[in-house]
Amino acid sequence: MATDNRINFWRRNPKVPGSVRPVYGAQHPPLDPRLRRTYLRETKPKLNNVKTKKASSFHEFATSTNDAWDIDDEEDEDFCWTPTPASSTPSGLDSASSLHKQNQHQADDPGRVLSQTLAPSTEVGLDLQDVQEEDVDHELVNGRLVKSCSDADLGSSSAVRSPLQKQQSLPVRPIIPLVARISDQNASGAPPMTVREKNRLDKFKQLLASPNTDLEELRKHSWSGIPREVRPITWRLLSGYLPANKERRELVLRRKREEYFGFIEQYYHSRTDEHFKDTYRQIHIDIPRTNPLIPLFQQPAVQEVFERILFIWAIRHPASGYVQGINDLVTPFFVVFLSEFVKEHVENFDVAMLPLDTQRNIEADSFWCMSKLLDGIQDNYTFAQPGIQNKVKALEELVSRIDVDIHNHFKKYEVEYLQFAFRWMNNLLMRELPLRCTIRLWDTYQAEAEGFSHFHLYVCAAFLIEWRKEILSMVDFQGLLMLLQNLPTIHWGNEEVGLLLAEAYRLKYMFADAPSHYKR
């Protein structure tokens, strides 16, 4: 009887204690669960929608879950084969190649497979897909083919690997640039520039080189994304920081940069005054939390830049002051203006290597462009944050019209829109998307009239509907809230953001000029 009760208990409680699951969005950018998870051989993880099968009994849970402390063992099981000596490599590769052809519809070059496994990968998406999605039931161990890792004779000396061999067999996680090339900003890297993309870049350069830039034409071309090479100057123009007249730009830049550092000399020393010390203390606490997994933002020099930008903005805008979440809004501008001087691996670049004048220019430009952005959404950060309250209410009304099933599902399980959408409005979806996607999203926001204040509402609605299937599959309050606060967007790139923006534009076209559509 006691045994039956235990079995029924585990069947009734699918959330088994002791399981280790990554939480999307707990850190920004979210961690990649596919790099540290061991899947059952029958299960193929999906790229955009990672799910794990819930254990229906404790026995299934125990057999499918490794000890959380055996980190090294878990990694060994994922990549459990030893590089062979040079003399035995050809025969082993031939055997592996023939088996590989039987298990796949199309064969890969075995030499390429071996080199990709031993060397740091340069194409993340391709390598992860090859490693995780292929059902290869045989593996290569010292030139021998064994059925699986568990079938190898672990007690024999041939199966014991040295620390060096173990290090070589584990893949090194490649660096994912924050700002990829013009054509794509997916995590897998960027393909070469196509003829169409080159033509778009030439068009931008032509517009920017004209004596008086046609801002309307520039917005039209920027809506579908701005080429990386011209994004810094385009953002300065679209934000209203620079004038359209080319001859006046250098003069305006010099004057505004001098004005900003005049503010630094005038106000920054007051950060320790009684009246401002609480503001500075909160900024000082929030800065290290800004994109904690990206080395660029953990550099002391960068954190000092952010502290100065946020403190000067706060004391110049006493109606709102500093509010948590504003710190996130500096990062896209800083990265874009930094990319003007750094071509690759922006996230690991040591800012101290730049000339001091260049560092100062990046800081001043980031301050003024962030100020221009916040001028249009300052009611989001005044007392009681009425702008966010109104936008969340508008989102609820909009979703009730475009997808009544999701709306009723939230009502059934007592999920309030404010519980998840407040952060979407406060941080402009920066906590939900990788930084590379935010930069692409802001291309369109700056091209769209009232993009940050008005169009963002329709982007949030489209973003919510994007996860319709996952939302309706959750049948409890806790599951719904965990999903909505940790949506799996780590592998999103230009294609996903482009589809999201297209759907948002469709919603705006249907509802923006017809307020009665909000009401039933």
What is the CA 14 to chain-centroid distance, rounded? 30
At the second CATH level, the architecture of 378-519 is Orthogonal Bundle (1.10)
5 pLDDT band, cuts 50/70/90, is low
Q: Give 18-62 pLDDT, tens digit per residue.
A: 444 444 444 444 445 454 444 444 444 444 444 444 444 455 545
The tokens of 425 are what? 């409005």
Rounded Cα gap, residues 325 and 428, in angstroms:
9
Q: Please give the full DSSP string across 371-435, using - where no structure is assigned.
A: HHHHHTSGGGTSTT-HHHHHHHHHHHHHHHHH-HHHHHHHHHTT--THHHHHHHHHTTTTTTS-H
Contacts (Cβ under 8 Å, ≥6 apart) of 130: 108, 113, 116
| Cβ neighbours around 194 below 10 Å, total | 11
C-beta separation of 458 from 402 below 8 A: no
Dist CA 143 CA 67 (whole Å): 30
CA distance 499 to 250: 37
Amino acid at 187: A
Q: What is the 3-state secondary structure (H, E, C) of 449-469?
A: CCHHHHHHHHHHHHHHHHCHH
**Tokens linked to 412:** 């059934």
Q: How far is CA 373 from the centre of its chain?
A: 21
What pLDDT, on the 0 to 100 scale, is given for residue 344?
78
Question: Residues spanned by CATH 1.10.472.80 within the chain?
Answer: 378-519
Residue type for position 134: E
Report pLDDT digits (tens) over 249-259.
999 999 999 99
What's the confidence (pLDDT) of residue 111?
Answer: 42
Higher pLDDT, 464 or 91: 464
Nearest to 60 by CA among 37, 38, 33, 40: 40
3-state secondary structure of 245: strand
Confidence tier at 380 by pLDDT (50, 70, 90)? very high
